[in-house]
A and B are shown apart, each in its own frame.
Chain A
Amino acid sequence: MNSQHIFRDFDKAIDALRADVLLMASLTRQNLERAMCSLLERNIDLARAVIADDSDVDDLERKIDQSGMEILARFHPMASDLRLVVTSMKMAHNLERISDHAVNIAKRSKKICKSSVLEEVGLAEPLYSMADSILRDSLMAYTDANAELGQSLKARDKELDRLQKQMVSALSRRLEDSNGRSENLLHLIFIAGSIERIGDLAVNMGEDAFFLGEARDIRHESRKNLTLDPTEESADD
C-alpha cells in the first residue's frame, strides 16, 4: 500500500517499524560478514567486535516487538498492514537468531585464530557467499513484498545444504589424520552448521515475505506435498 493512511501517525509508526527491521538486517549482515572475515583473515579483534555488537541486534529485536505491539494495540491494522506488522516481528526474531549464529562463528573463529594457520577455513567461504546471497534476497523480498523472490529461496537453500554436507564430509575425512588439529576442524564443522542454519532462517524470512505479498502461508508446504504425493506412497508400498 503506497497511499497515505488517514492517520499520519500510523504511517509514521509503520515507517519507523520498517526502518528498524532494515537497520537490524544491516547490523546482522555486518556481524555475519565480520565474523567470517575474522575467520578467513585471522582477525581476533573483528571476532570480539561481533560478540560485543550482538547486543545492539538484541535491543532492536525488543524495540521492533514493542513497536509492533503498540501498532496492533493502537491502530488495529487490517489486511496488508496487519501482515506487515506480523511479518516485521517475525523478521526481527529470525534476524536475531542469525546474529546469534554470527556470534557462534566469531567465538569459534577466535579459538581457531589462536592456533596455527588452518588452511581448511577457505572451505567455508563459498558456503558463506551463498548463505549471504540468500539472506540479502530474503531482505529484498521483505522490502518489496516480492512473493516470487521470497518463494525462490528454498531451492537455493538446498544447494547450500549440499555444499555444507560436502564440506562436513571433507573435514571429517581429515579429522582421522589431523595431527592435533582435530579441535579446530571440529570448530570449522560447527561453523559450517551455523552457516547452513543461517540459510534456513533466510528461507523462513523469504516465506514470511511471500505471506506479506500474497497473504498465503507456504511454510512446511514441501513437507505437506511430500506426504500427500500419491507416487511417494506407492513407492513406499
Chain B
Amino acid sequence: MKHSSIAISNLDFSYGSSPALNDINLEIPAKSVTAFIGPSGCGKSTLLRCINRMNDEIPIAKITRGGIYLDGIDIHDSSVDVVKLRRDVGMVFQKSNPFPRSIYDNVAYGLRLQGSLPKSVLDQSIEEALRAAALWDEVKDRMNESAFGLSGGQQQRLCIARTIAVKPSIVLMDEPCSALDPIATAKVEELIWDLKAHYTIVIVTHNMQQASRVSDKTAFFYMGNLIEFSETSRIFSNPRVKKTEEYITGRFG
C-alpha cells in the first residue's frame, strides 16, 4: 500500500438500501493516469467521487465497509479536514463549469481561498497553472475578459488550470471530454499526458479509445464490481476476464 498514491480497500458503498459498489480493492499508482471504464450505472463515477468525499453531500450515500487511503491515511478519519482533502484531490467535471468571472479570477479563486497572497505571487501562480493547462498562450492577452467568452475546450482547460492552481496531488476527471469536439479533446488528452509527471490522475470515461490513449492502467467495472484492473495495453489487447473482453469488443448486453 505504501507505494500506491490511492489505496481502496474492501470498499462497499450504498445509496440508501441500494448497494452501488461491492468489495472494491484497488491500488492506484502515483504520478500515472488510471482510467475507470464500464457501462452506465457500473459505479465508476461513484467510486471517483468517493476519493475526495464528494458523496458526503448526498444524505443517503454512505460507505458501509472498507475505506480509501491516500498515502496511507484513511480519508474518513476524524482528523481529516474535508476542505483540505478536496484541495489535495482536485476534480474536473463532465461539463466545464467556469465561474461567471474573468479568466484571471477563475484561476485565482482557489488560491485566494487559501489566504491573501501578494499580487506578484498570485500572478506567477496563475501563469504557471495556465501554462500547465496549455492555455496561457491563448488567454494571456485577455485575462480580464469573462471566462464564458472562451470556447468549450478552452473552458475545460481553464477548469483544469483552476484545479491545478492550488497544487493538488491527485486530479479526478469525470468524463472531461464528453462535451468537446475532437480537436479540443485531443488538446485535453495531450494535457492529461503532460500532467501525469506531477499529478496522480484518475479519469472516468465512456470513450474506450480515450482510455486506451491516455491511461497507464485501466479498471473495468460492472454492476458495482471491479471486474479487472491491469495495464491499459493488456486490458485493450488481451484482457484476462471474458466480461472485459465482451465490453471492450462491443459484445455486451
- The answer to whether A5 touches B245, judged by C-beta atoms less than 8 angstroms apart, is no
**Residue from B212, B239, B251 in contact with A5 in the complex, judged by beta carbons closer than 8 Å:** B251
Q: How far is the CA of A79 from the CA of B240 in the complex (A)?
A: 10
- The answer to whether B249 touches A78, judged by C-beta atoms less than 8 angstroms apart, is yes
**Residue from B239, B248, B251 in contact with A4 in the complex, judged by beta carbons closer than 8 Å:** B251
- The answer to whether B251 touches A79, judged by C-beta atoms less than 8 angstroms apart, is no
- B239 closest partner in A (C-beta): A79
Residue B78 CB within 8 A of the other chain: no
- The answer to whether A78 touches B208, judged by C-beta atoms less than 8 angstroms apart, is yes
- The answer to whether B238 touches A77, judged by C-beta atoms less than 8 angstroms apart, is no
Residue A190 CB within 8 A of the other chain: no
Q: How far is the CA of A75 from the CA of B209 in the complex (A)?
A: 11
> In the complex, which residues of chain B have a beta carbon less than 8 angstroms from the beta carbon of A5?
249-251
> In the complex, which residues of chain A have a beta carbon less than 8 angstroms from the beta carbon of B252?
6
Known: A1-B251, A10-B250. A79 touches B209 (CB 8 A): no
**Residue from A7, A75, A78, A215 in contact with B248 in the complex, judged by beta carbons closer than 8 Å:** A78
Residue A82 CB within 8 A of the other chain: yes
Q: How far is the CA of A5 from the CA of B245 in the complex (A)?
A: 12
Interface size class of A (residues with CB under 8 A): 10 to 19
- The answer to whether B249 touches A1, judged by C-beta atoms less than 8 angstroms apart, is yes
- A84 closest partner in B (C-beta): B249
Q: How far is the CA of A81 from the CA of B238 in the complex (A)?
A: 10
> In the complex, which residues of chain B have a beta carbon less than 8 angstroms from the beta carbon of A77?
249
Known: A76-B209, A78-B208. A215 touches B237 (CB 8 A): yes
**CB within 8 Å of A: which of B196-252?**
208-209, 212, 236-239, 245-246, 248-252
> In the complex, which residues of chain A have a beta carbon less than 8 angstroms from the beta carbon of B249?
1, 5, 77-81
- A77 closest partner in B (C-beta): B249
Q: How far is the CA of A46 from the CA of B74 in the complex (A)?
A: 80
Q: How far is the CA of A82 from the CA of B245 in the complex (A)?
A: 11
Instruction: Among A4, A7, A79, A83, find the residue whose CB has the most chain B CB atoms closer than 10 A.
Output: A79
- The answer to whether A6 touches B250, judged by C-beta atoms less than 8 angstroms apart, is yes
> In the complex, which residues of chain B have a beta carbon less than 8 angstroms from the beta carbon of A231?
none
Q: How far is the CA of A76 from the CA of B95 in the complex (A)?
A: 26
> In the complex, which residues of chain A have a beta carbon less than 8 angstroms from the beta carbon of B251?
1, 3-6
Q: How far is the CA of A76 from the CA of B252 in the complex (A)?
A: 16
**Residue from A4, A75, A76, A79 in contact with B245 in the complex, judged by beta carbons closer than 8 Å:** A79
- A3 closest partner in B (C-beta): B251
- A216 closest partner in B (C-beta): B238
**CB within 8 Å of B: which of A2-41?**
3-7, 10
- The answer to whether B236 touches A78, judged by C-beta atoms less than 8 angstroms apart, is yes
- The answer to whether B250 touches A79, judged by C-beta atoms less than 8 angstroms apart, is no
Known: A78-B208, A80-B245. A215 touches B250 (CB 8 A): no
Q: How far is the CA of A216 from the CA of B115 in the complex (A)?
A: 57
> In the complex, which residues of chain A have a beta carbon less than 8 angstroms from the beta carbon of B209?
76
**CB within 8 Å of B: which of A72-92?**
75-83
- The answer to whether A1 touches B237, judged by C-beta atoms less than 8 angstroms apart, is no
**Residue from B237, B246, B253 in contact with A82 in the complex, judged by beta carbons closer than 8 Å:** B237
**CB within 8 Å of B: which of A87-102?**
none
Give A81 Cβ to nearest chain B Cβ, in Å: 5
Q: List 29 A-B contacts (CB under 8 A).
A: A1-B245, A1-B249, A3-B246, A3-B251, A5-B250, A5-B251, A6-B250, A6-B253, A10-B250, A76-B208, A76-B209, A77-B249, A78-B208, A78-B212, A78-B237, A78-B248, A78-B249, A79-B236, A79-B238, A79-B239, A79-B245, A79-B248, A79-B249, A80-B249, A81-B249, A81-B250, A82-B237, A215-B237, A215-B238
Chain A residues at the B interface, C-beta cutoff of 8 Å: 1, 3-7, 10, 75-83, 215
Nearest 9 Cβ contacts at the A-B interface = A215-B238, A78-B248, A3-B251, A6-B250, A81-B249, A5-B250, A78-B236, A79-B245, A78-B249
